[in-house]
Amino acid sequence: MKTARQAQNLKGQGRLGNAPGERFRPWRAAVRAQVQILLPRTERGGWCVGMNRRIPHSGLAGAVGLLLIAAMIMRALLSSLVFSVACAGAAVRAHPHVFVDAGFELLFDAKGQLSAVRIDWAYDEFYSLMLIEENGLDNDGDGTPEQAALDAYAGHDVDWAAGFPGDFDLEQGGEAVVLDGPVMHRARFEQGRVVTSHVRPLAAPLDMTDGAVIARAYDPSYFVAYDVPVAPAISGRTGCTLDREAVDYGAAEAEYADRLAAIDATSDPFEQVDLPDIGVMFADRFVLTCAPFS
């Protein structure tokens, strides 16, 4: 089984902590130890999740791609009996494959209206290596990508033209706030991690007198797990507060299991199925409120 959308990209700039978010530290370790980013993952009762990603073609990334191909061929050759035994005992858990420390800054204009969001993404260490190798960011091979290469790469880690929603949303009064495409791209390398950033202008400035604004950073498919380890910032206006409503992971896992159980497990295990908005179940909510502007 493949989820219908498995996104691949992330970003981040200055206000992120250097250390990976504590929430996903055990999962990050498991990814590095088991190379879970490459190999198919089991979910439950004969259903197995595989990756739907472009396979790199050279160097470390190429070797990784060959491992993926070999794993997929071996899986195709397994008998249905072995396949079902391998998957039947798996725990019912959501398994992200890429981990990102996200940060964001809410930007207000001179009229006190919310006008843009600066979004920062710091890739996990393993995925950073993939990005560096696949995109030729370390030309001299010293293990550190050159800043000139990162500058040229900035803005290319997400295929916005293909309809990628940006893994960040705002809402007010239960209605989605429309964000324009990204501008002001930056990229850097810090303590073994590729960190990129961009700004998403709002399609129309938002009047805070219309009620609180909810902000969330998440991938709907939960292929990418976002953590927000540092409190987001507010710029250009005083009298505003941003409160975090932390997700209940136990409840989110239970809801995920219920959704997965509703799938007909007698169907083709390689069929692509749609589990919409898995990621929102695992996303913290940030509630922005402001006093009257003067």
How does residue 267 score in pLDDT terms, banded at 50, 70 and 90?
low
What pLDDT is attached to residue 258? 84
Residue 13 reports pLDDT greater than 90: no
How does residue 42 score in pLDDT terms, banded at 50, 70 and 90?
very low
How does residue 266 score in pLDDT terms, banded at 50, 70 and 90?
low
How does residue 262 score in pLDDT terms, banded at 50, 70 and 90?
confident
Residue 50 reports pLDDT greater than 90: no
Residue 268 reports pLDDT greater than 70: no
Angle at which helix 125-134 crosses helix 59-77, to 10 degrees, equals 110
What pLDDT is attached to residue 273? 65
CB atoms within 10 A of CB 29: 11
What pLDDT is attached to residue 93? 66
**pLDDT tens profile 73-103:** 343 333 333 333 334 444 556 678 999 999 9
What pLDDT is attached to residue 64? 46
**pLDDT tens profile 117-168:** 999 999 999 999 999 999 999 999 999 999 999 999 999 887 676 667 789 9
Query: Which tokens hold the place of 126?
Result: 């393993």
Give percent of the chain above pLDDT 70.
63
How does residue 6 score in pLDDT terms, banded at 50, 70 and 90?
very low
How does residue 257 score in pLDDT terms, banded at 50, 70 and 90?
confident
Report residue 88: phi and psi, to 5°.
-65, -35
What pLDDT is attached to residue 68? 44
The top-scoring range by mean pLDDT among 5-9, 68-72, 97-101, 268-272 is: 97-101
- CA 53, CA 62: separation in Å to the nearest integer? 13
Looking at per-residue pLDDT, the higher value among 172 and 274 belongs to 172
Which residues have a Cβ under 8 Å from the Cβ of 200 and sit 6 or more positions away? 116, 117, 119, 166, 168, 179, 180, 181, 182, 183
Domain limits of the chain? 2-290
